[in-house]
Structure 1
Amino acid sequence: MKRYMNILKRISLVVAPAMLLLTGCEDIIDLNVDSGPSQLVVDGWITNQPGVQQISLSLSAPYFNNGPATPVTNASVLVEDNEGNVYEFLDVDQDGIYEWGTAQDTLGRIGRTYLLTITTDGEVYTADTEIRRVPQVDSVVYQKETLPIDPDNGPKEGYIAQFYARDFVGEGDNYWIKPVVDGQARVDRPSNISIAYDAAFNAGAPSDGLIFILPLRQSITTDSLYSAGNSVGVELHSITNEAFEFLKQVQQQASNGGLFATPVQNIFSNVVNSNPNGPKALGFFGASAVSRKETVIDPSKARPEE
């Protein structure tokens, strides 16, 4: 014990002066970062579910600009499927949000491909995608859980929810898993994005045709435990390989921090300017088939705590 205390004293003698050097003075450095030209940002995702479909257009902003994005208005936004059906999206409110359809209309169909064409400021941008198959969600279950310490958010005692579904046989299916809370699919932070390649995290895992692995099934429980009476569920979205890689990069950028952070880079986009010498676009145009199931947490039906 005496030897241990002597080691601690020697460590303190080295660390304390070093900390004084680090904290003895503070200089405020103003970074002058050149602002590049604004670029078109596309945020569009269509599904096979009935309801209004939206594609948002805005302009990129300098890195340190925390203000709202500038909407792109007066653009022509068309979506055409491989059977020749053309859907015109309109910006009725002049806010950069272009919409098609009503609550009863359905645009997406499994197996069809879709071409997005945007014309704005004399430039023509295109992106293509397809709606792939999605398995049915078998069930949503929940288990009693008591956390070892009081959490920052939510109850200390509550329930972990998970879903059960089986990947299709045939390698290469990709999915976006979204928790459903009180009837609404919610992905409130990029770090909460949950994506799957077949029934696991990435290609290479022997998961084709299997039930989704436990961490993916439980990914519908995000920042806190659920409470009795909560309505919880899952939306399983089929996505393309391109969409999988896009969402994966969004995940990685969201967690890119700390000692080993890498320089911030633009995330891959599938939106291409038909003029190779024209301004490039940012964002993504995707499409999904959706499988959904919900339940209400009833303590009498919960799985026992392990």
Structure 2
Amino acid sequence: MKNILLILLSVFAFACETEITPKLNAPAEILVVDAWVNQKMEPQKIRITRSQPYFEQSIPQKVPGAHVMIEDLNSGEIYEFQEEAESYFWYPTDQPFGQVGHQYRLTVTVDGQEFEAFSKMGRVPPIDSIIFHYNPKDMIVKQDYYTAEFVASDPAGAGDTYWIKAWRNGVFLGNPGELNMAYDAGFSAGQPVDGQEFIIPLRRDFMNPYDPHPDKTNEFLPPYEVGDSLSVEIHSLDHLAFDFLYGLYFQIARPGGFAELFSMPLANTSTNIFSVGDEDTPVTGFFNTSAVSSRGLKLSEELANAALEEN
């Protein structure tokens, strides 16, 4: 029995240390539609590409010659997306894209094959403020530092879903572990937090990254120092988009190593895009329309001193 255990342990140790490069059959290409459209006064982009082999390292290239449009099913307004070198774009002039509460239909035609998707633009609450808090040095950060949070309240009426985004010094906090989504003012349906202020983890945790110190082991850089800035946006999601992002998170945030044996199997995430007239034509990606609220603040000397006094 003892010898058997030693053999098994040796096999597992060898498996954890050996890197293999399996040869896989080339998979069939699948059309991918990446259509996340919002109300910001900036160019709206829809990417039309095709899937690639799992180990492919290059950036997917645009599928040329597609016809891409979005129709407002309430007002009848048409938004035509024009093909450019990188993707397909629509440019706002005096008004942003869409209206809250309206239903939208995306139509993509590629090589005579038509694809459709639907999305309803939900509401978002305003961001009331951004606050910086003073923190004395501790075992992790060996200097006085500041953390940040935003303050906003979910509007009354259950069922609102959001994607909360943040930029520190203009850099998007977009790692898988920083994906921050809310169902009403909490994490998921069923929590009694409708119409309340967003719970603290949603308001604070993801926007205070502790980056490892480049020169000191087991020490981290402060999330914010005087002169740093924070920008926060709340994007509305429809419920299918909320589920899609959670599925995407579990596919991207892989544990790696031996723990990968017990994690969720790799698979395509759900999609709300379908082929018109030919249900057997594979397609993936997602279409969502978002209203957006935003706010930004720079940590000045005055704000830092005020946070210190309040501590």
Task: State the TM bucket, normalised to the shorter chain.
Answer: 0.7 to 0.9
**Could you tell me which amino acid in structure 1 is paired with residue 45 of structure 2?**
Q
Give matches, 1:116-155, under 5 Å: 116-145=106-135, 146-149=137-140
State the match for 2:254 in structure 1. Answer: 256
Q: Compared with structure 1, are the counterparts of its residues 20 and 68 closer, same or farther at alpha carbon in structure 2 (3 Å cutoff)?
A: closer
Q: 2:227 aligns with which of 218, 229, 240?
A: 229
Does the 8 Å contact 1:178/1:234 carry over to 2? yes
Alignment-derived partner of residue 205 in structure 1 = 191
Structure 1 residues 157 and 92 mapped into 2: Cα distance closer, same or farther (>3 Å)? same
String of CA shifts for 1:1-52, please: whole Å, max 9, x gaps.
Answer: xxxxxxxxxxxxx98x956983599766441222221111111111122221
Q: Distance in 2 between matches of 1:165 and 1:208?
A: 13
Structure-2 residue corresponding to 1:286: 288
Amino acid at match of 2:266: V
Flag the 1:61–1:21 CA change in 2: closer, same or farther, 3 A.
closer
Question: 1:108/1:147 Cα in 2 relative to 1: closer, same or farther (>3 Å)?
Answer: farther
Question: Which of 31, 34, 40 matches 1:49?
Answer: 40
Asked if residue 84 in structure 1 is aligned to residue 70 in structure 2, the reply is no
Q: Is the 8 A contact 1:112 1:131 kept in 2?
A: yes
* Structure 2: distance between partners of 1:36 and 1:20: 31
**1:253 alignment partner, SS class:** helix
Residues 161-170 or 42-51, more deviating: 42-51
* 1:246-282: CA deviation from partner (whole Å, max 9, x where unpaired): 1111111222324121210101111111133442211
Does residue 68 in structure 1 map to residue 59 in structure 2? yes
CA contact (8 A) 1:191 1:254 kept: no
Q: Is residue 305 of structure 2 the alignment partner of residue 300 of structure 1?
A: yes
Q: Tell me the distance in 1 between the aligned counterparts of 2:282 and 2:9.
A: 47
Counterpart for residue 190 of structure 1: 176
> Percentage identity across aligned positions?
33
Give per-residue Cα distances to partners, 1:123-153, cap 9 Å, x unaligned: 1111110111111111110112335235xxx
Distance 2:157 2:68 in 1: 35
Query: Cα distance 1:122–1:204, how it changes in 2: closer, same or farther (>3 A)?
Result: same
After TM superposition, the structure 1 stretch with the greater mean CA deviation from structure 2, 17-26 or 68-77, is 17-26
Cα distance change on mapping 1:28 and 1:208 into 2, 3 Å: closer
Any gaps of 5 or more consecutive residues in structure 2? 212-222
- Please, what TM-score do these two structures have when normalized by structure 2? 0.83
TM-score by length of 1: 0.84
CA contact (8 A) 2:118 2:272 kept: yes
Given residue 58 of structure 1, which amino acid in structure 2 is its aligned partner? T
- Tell me the residue number matched to 1:9: none
- Distance in 2 (CA, whole Å) between partners of 1:74 and 1:271 is 19
Query: How much has 1:55 moved relative to structure 2?
Result: 0.6
| Higher mean displacement: 188-197 or 237-246 | 188-197
Contact 2:35 2:288 in 1 (8 A): yes
**Residues in 2 aligned to 1:178 and 1:27: alpha-carbon distance in whole angstroms:** 38
Equivalent AA in structure 2 for residue 159 of structure 1: Y
Structure 2 CA distance for partners of 1:163 and 1:35, relative to 1, 3 Å = same
Aligned residue for 2:203, secondary structure, equals: helix
Structure 1 match to 2:207: 220
CA spacing shift, 1:26–1:134, aligned 2, 3 Å: closer
**Counterpart in the other structure of 1:11:** none
Are positions 1:107 and 2:97 aligned together?
yes
- Bigger mean CA deviation after superposition, 99-108 or 156-165: 99-108
1:268 pairs with one of 245, 267, 270: 270
Q: Which one-letter code corresponds to 1:107 in the other structure?
A: F
Partner Cα distance (1:26, 1:47) in 2:
45
